[in-house]
Amino acid sequence: MLCTCPADPRQGFLQYTGEAMVFEPRNNRVIETADSGLAVLPGFCDVHVHFREPGFSYKETIAAGTAAAAHGGYTAVCTMPNLDPVPDSLPHLAQQLEIIERDARIAVKPYGAITEGEKGEEIADLEGMAPFVCAFSDDGKGVQDASQMREAMTRAKALGKLIVAHCEVNELLRGGYIHDGRYAKTCGHRGICSESEWRQVERDIDLAYQTGCGYHVCHISTKESAELVRQAKKDDIDVSCETAPHYLLMDDSMLEEDGRFKMNPPVRDRSDRDALLEGVTDGTIEIIATDHAPHSAEEKARGLEKSAFGIVGIETAFPLLYTYLVKQGMLTLAQLTRLLSDNPRKRFAIETDPGQSIWDLNEEYTVDPSTFLSKGKATPFEGWKVFGRCIETIYNNNLVWKYE
């Protein structure tokens, strides 16, 4: 893949070849990124965002969310269906599509719900929504009834669509809100056990095998989930998964008594973090998505127990991953690009022009939520030092972000 775009029309072009990024001035003298600090990458694709509109525009909007995405180097996103109304039928979905058409700066591909109202009772109108959605998901909730999930997979298979699952066994949650590890026990918090996630991953992989449906697991956080996906791939089951930057860069020893550290699933033990890093490097985990989930300041100011689940991440994903994985030698820049752009586009059949994002990889700065374009500001990475400033993002030959 070769992407070329003007870095500065007076000076030359940046090129991404799939392995190396170079800056090529008009005099044809080539300067490697290592020297210039400049890189151009395909625009990223986030298959897991919550842009909250319609229904919860006080948290986020399509306009604010896509502006934040462009700021983070993204040119395509897939929006989760926990909205009001839930996109469980074509009339409900049409309300979201109208807002996207009016306000989006980049490509926005919505999910359709698996069940009506995400209530887990009746299967939604998958057939009516199929031409207009990227996949089907009840994200935010696990589909508890195996027979319903089997029916959804059978119908999605016939439509050529993925089933995308937030895996969570309700009866194992027990009112928890952080990982049931040492921090929870030491500080008197109720924990969420790892089994609540991997048990449903295990069930759904078996259903995917039975039905032949393409199946994608959202935001895996446990070593057991990673191993289940690894084995399923060896068995040639059509399974993929994603994890998020916070599961790769944090563990529960890093928690603080603040709502900006609360998300679902929670950050877990160091052994889980290490297993996820292994999964990213060996290809078990093909996609890094952010689970960008903004809330109002008031909703995130109630401490760990009472704050809403969810953090923002689309504006910090690349700088964090570049700084703490690429610069530390755990991934190459080309590998990270595949995880953020090439792989999600391929798995989800996102065929829009990826465009480009241009980065100054030498610029160091501190993560500061006051600079976010998202309406949400809650991030556990506040104050972290990072390298990589997004200078420009280009989509459909339009400049959708420029650093001033």
Amino acid at 392: E
Cα separation, 238 vs 347, in Å, equals 10
Structure-derived torsion over alpha carbons of residues 155, 44, 229, 216, reported in degrees to the nearest 10: -10
Q: By three-state DSSP, how is residue 195 classified?
A: helix
Burial status of residue 335 (CB atoms within 10 A of its CB: 0-12, 13-18, 19 or more):
middle
Q: Are β-strands 356-366 and 38-42 bridged in parallel, bridged antiparallel, or unpaired?
A: antiparallel
Active-site residue 291, yes or no? yes
Would you list the DSSP string of 315-370? TTHHHHHIIIIITTTSS-HHHHHIIIIIHHHHHTT--S---EEEEEEEEEEE--GG
Classify each residue of 28-45 as buried b or exposed e, where b means 16 or more C-beta atoms within 10 Å of its C-beta: eeeeebeebbbbbbbbbb
State the first-to-last Cα distance of the chain, in angstroms, to the nearest integer.
29
Write phi, then psi, for 159 (nearest 5 degrees).
Answer: -90, -5
Taking the C-alpha atoms of residue 324 and residue 248, their distance in angstroms, rounded to an integer, is 9
At residue 67, the 3 state secondary structure works out as helix
Q: What is the DSSP letter of 156?
A: H
Task: Name the amino acid, one letter, at 238.
Answer: D
Query: Is 246:380 a contact under the CB 8 Å cutoff?
Result: yes
How many whole angstroms separate alpha carbon 93 and alpha carbon 110? 8
Q: Which residue out of 138, 204, 291, 342 is catalytically annotated?
A: 291
- Residues contacting residue 171 through CB under 8 Å, at least 6 positions apart: none
Tokens of 160: 């050529």
Tell me if residue 37 falls in helix, strand or coil: coil
The residues annotated with a catalytic role in the active site are: 291
